[in-house]
Homo-oligomer: A and B are copies of this chain.
Amino acid sequence: VNVTSDQHGAHTDWLTLNIGGRLFTTTRSTLVSKEPESMLAHMFREKDVWGNKQDQHGAYLIDRSPEYFEPILNYLRHGQLIVNEGINIRGVLEEARFFGIEQLAEQLEVVIKNSQPPEDHSPIS
């Protein structure tokens, strides 16, 4: 019942993710198309196959950080890695790895490596 036609005429359906308590609304095609081999794509490729648990409003429950998921969802929407100043890139990397989005994880590792001075070994940057 939640299926609609998107701007290119294809059929898609909308779903809401409950990531650690915050809601993200997106389409199945965003989660599945950009990185088809990721765990996230596998979780949502087939409707109700993976057995994702839903909350009482129908949002799919994922026990991860909402804050660091945000740039990941944007990356799946338009293919660009865009992170605000002050957001810890290592947090985004943890989520990219968890969701198995390999190409993004590699890109994030490069950014982290380039932004660290060689002598810095502190646990948080």
Contacts and interface: CB of A to CB of B under 8 A. Distances in A.
Interface of A: 4-5, 14, 16, 18, 20-27, 30, 51, 53, 55, 61, 63-65, 67-68, 70, 73-74, 77-78, 80-88, 90-91, 94, 98, 107, 110-111, 114, 122-124
Given A25-B61, A51-B4, A86 B88 contact: no
Q: Which secondary structure dominates chain A's binding surface?
A: mixed
Q: How many copies does the complex hold?
A: 5
Contacts of A87: 84-85
Nearest to A13: B53
B21 A23 contact: yes
A77 B69 CA distance: 14
Contacts of A16: 21
A110 B121 CA distance: 13
B90 A82 contact: yes
A124 B110 CA distance: 11
Nearest to A74: B65
Nearest to A67: B70
A23 B114 CA distance: 36
